[in-house]
Structure formats: C-alpha cells, structure tokens
Amino acid sequence: MDAAIRWLRISYRVGAVADAGAAALMLHPPLYAFGMGLAGFAPGDDYRHAMGMGASLMLGWTALLLWADRAPMERRGVLVLTVLVVLGLAANEVQSVRAGFLPVGRAAAVWAFQALLAVLFLGSYAAASRAARRG
C-alpha cells in the first residue's frame, strides 16, 4: 500500500505542477508563443479573455490535485478525471494543428508529455485500486 500511495502522491504533484505551468502559459501569451514556436504572435482581447477563463480552470484543477493529495487513496478517482481533461487538451491541440495555428513538431512534444501524464495517472490509479482491494 505504501508504494501505491507514493505513486498517487507523485501523480497528484506532477499534475499540479503541470497545470500551474499551463495556467502560466495561458496568462502570459509571449511565453506561450515562445514555447510553441509562434513567430509574430499578437493575441487580441478575445484570446486573452478566453485564456483567462482557461487559466482559472487550470488553477482550480491544480488545487483539486493538491486536495486529492491530502487523502490519496480515497480521492484516487481524481486522476481518472484528470486524464479526461488531458485528452480534451490534446484534442484541442489536434484541431489547432489541423487549422494551421500550431506547428506539428511543437504539438507532438506536448502530446508526448500528455501521454506520459496519462500513463502515470492511470498506472497510479490502477495500482492504488489493486492495493485497496487487497486491503
């Protein structure tokens, strides 16, 4: 059980850092543009408004993951919900690549990171669920 809790805590904390980082990118368009290789990126007020809404949700999810870390076994289902969020973000990036907004190479790096997160979260959830069934 100790190993399962350790992996849950790693997952919650890695997820919280990733979400806080995503919020920072949303709130600072020049940083996002640099990271995604977007030359001449000059977002308007509409973009900034939408990203402000998204950043609020990311910061809320950061808090949710830190809350789950307080009772790791009981709140392990938060990791499955988090994978759904990661999949939604990946789908949004696919659309942005298809629209010609994001370069595929930069998006692929993000997808690789998202895949690692999903494997970490689902693996931790599965291990914790097995440990809980064993008692």
Tens of pLDDT along the chain (135 residues)? 799 999 999 999 999 999 999 999 999 999 999 999 999 999 999 999 999 999 999 999 999 999 999 999 999 999 999 999 999 999 999 999 999 999 999 999 999 999 999 999 999 999 999 999 997
User: Per-domain residue ranges for the chain?
Assistant: 2-134
DSSP secondary structure, the chain, as one string? -HHHHHHHHHHHHHHHHHHHHHHHHHH-HHHHHHHHT-TT----HHHHHHHHHHHHHHHHHHHHHHHHHHSTTTTTHHHHHHHHHHHHHHHHHHHHHHTTSS-HHHHHHHHHHHHHHHHHHHHHHHHHHHHHHH-
